[in-house]
Amino acid sequence: MYRSALRRLARELDCEPTEEGVLRARGDADPAAYANRLLKKSRTGVMILDHGFAGGEAMSPAEHSAAIEIPQREVVRLETAAERLVSSCDNVRDWTAAVRSLLRTAISDGAVGVKTIAAYRAGLQLWEPNPERAEAEFRILRGRTANGHTIRLEGAPLCHTLLLEAAQECRDLGVPLQVHCGFGDPDEDMALANPLGLRRLFVEESYAGLTVVLLHCYPFHREAAYLASVFPGVYMDLSLAIPMAAHDGARALLEALGLCPTSKILYATDATRFPEVYLVAAALHREAMAGALGHLVETGWLMQREAIEAGRQVLSGNARRIYQVPG
């Protein structure tokens, strides 16, 4: 994937297909103009951004909005937002209420969804929360903030309590809940990142009407496709898998389309920090879509006009509909 990306970037930047060539071309350009050039080349119409991931060395949301010309909307990273509220709350009930209030304010201010990384912090096997354990762990977490320590929200009692409360708030607000599942960074236990563990969100009455978007999914893309095929509120993307799994990402997309309706799979890049990643991921995703849909036409599963409409749905229409972003 990396070698392929260097060659793609070299063609765009008219330079040698090496690290040195790409870095020289990027270093000679104005950073904002360079970023906008590559983002526009990706033909991105709207950026839906999780600023909670970026870290201190990246642009702030305000700086990003000012520098980048493409329209931008925010998704609230649940665990990061919740960590900031621990020190101001006396107990778990106050804390979850404060988080729900924060989510209502964020959506009112223009955010289009909420994202959870519970797969990293606690896994996705959602059981009934244990209030006593959650309260005990909250006291420990709050004690760390009082002593000036940096805190990290983790463990099923708190993370799953938070996730289930946020799911109800997303349902009430009518916005999607994004759930990281499948592969990611090494601090995730992949054995606990299978989206099948989220079943209670799809079947229990208290979450009826909730929209869930399963992110990345690979290598559980077949499980995600199954969930999207049988539960009305479930959608999926293969964002991180398309560039990172190289040629297997395209195969995963074809496999996902075996069960997932074309009205329920979304284009996404999972790109961050570097504008080059947006350009490369966009190209790879379009090529994967062309290959998958072309195969379905050639083998008689779709007519050409149906495949073209499916491409429009995946690349834009589905996201604009569920995130309520005007065309």
pLDDT tens, residue order, the chain (327 aa): 899 999 999 999 999 999 999 999 999 999 999 999 999 999 999 999 998 775 667 778 888 899 999 999 999 999 999 999 999 999 999 999 999 999 999 999 999 999 999 999 999 999 888 999 999 999 999 998 877 778 899 999 999 999 999 999 999 999 999 999 999 888 889 999 999 999 999 999 999 999 999 999 999 999 999 999 999 999 999 998 998 887 888 899 999 999 999 999 999 998 888 899 999 999 999 999 999 999 999 999 999 999 999 999 999 999 999 999 986
pLDDT at position 108: 96
Q: Are 201 and 167 in contact (CB under 8 A)?
A: yes
pLDDT at position 256: 96
Report helix angle 131-146 to 92-108, nearest 10: 80
Please tell me the distance from the alpha carbon of residue 207 to that of residue 287, in angstroms, as a whole number.
36
For 140, 146, 159, the CA distances from 137, given in Å and listed in that order, are 5, 14, 11
The stretches of 14-123 forming alpha helices (DSSP H) are 19-27, 31-41, 61-67, 78-83, 92-108, 118-121
* Domain ranges for the chain: 1-33
pLDDT at position 228: 98
Cβ contacts of residue 123 below 8 Å, gap of 6+? 156, 189, 192, 193, 197
